[in-house]
Chains A and B, each alone.
Chain A
Amino acid sequence: MKRALIILAGLVALPAWAGEHGRAIPLPAVYKTECGSCHTPFPPALLSAADWQKTMAGLDKHFGTDASLDAKTAEEISAWLKRNAGGRASATGAEPRITASAWFKREHREMPAKTWQDSRVKSAANCAACHKGADQGRYGEREIDVPGMGRWED
């Protein structure tokens, strides 16, 4: 009985673990189109609901660009982001920046500094440079291939 309960607890916890470690949630087409043209469509779990709200409220000054959307599209995307937001607070200033968060730095602590400067990577926000499934929302280890380093062996 006790063993069964432990296994059951583990199974129940699995989705939460999976959510953090590569189980992709499907990205709606509108999100990929509107928020994945200029950069990777970031997984909503990487910012808190409050941070997403801040981001969506300031789209006209989105990291130096006017990324405003029509009200209907903005509303649709905001609702989806809020529903799928993560629990972690990020590193933030006025503009929540995923790559500046403690979480991001911890996840990528084994990356040598020179990789970020590689022209094939160009930006820490360019997830797809190494995470080959990033444009579809997938970040599993098996799909990691780092320019200049190769497949990820853990």
Chain B
Amino acid sequence: MKKVLLLIVLGLAQNALAETPAQFIASYSAEAGAGFIADATRGKAFASRNWGVSEKLASCTACHTDNLRNPGRHAVTGKAIQPLSPAVNPERFSDPAKVEKWFKRNCKEVVGRACSAAEKADFIQYAMGGK
């Protein structure tokens, strides 16, 4: 009986830790406020916009390209970056700590401020459609 309970608890714990792009969108959307619906077109516009903050890293697309299904490339170092689209790269938007870390870093660097929950939801929605 104890063993069964342990397995159930572990199973539940697994589900609590694992996340999917859809779950990220849902939680950022909820944070954005009642009635907010994530929009891929808005997300694309956000990703393509030149924020005028960093010279070399002016937009998300500077590294991630205008097609998130493609591999990207760091605009300064030239390092290859795996595609952001979860359709092509199932690792993307699966780890809450990783998602938060990169939003925090890249928004500060490129956008010049923290991204709002709405912007994050839109961006992931765009990344899911990936075109």
Contact = CB atoms under 8 A, between A and B. Distances in A.
Interface residues of A, number: 15
Contacts of B80: 128
A40 interface: yes
Contacts, number: 33
Give the size category of B's interface with A.
10 to 19
Nearest to A33: B98
Interface string B88-131: 00000000000000000100110000000000000000000000
Contacts of A122: 73, 77-78
Contacts of A128: 79-80
A38 B79 contact: yes
A39 B109 contact: no
Interface in A26-77: 37-40, 64-67
A142 to B, nearest CB: 21
Interface of B: 73-74, 76-81, 105, 108-109
Interface of A: 37-40, 64-67, 121-123, 125-126, 128-129
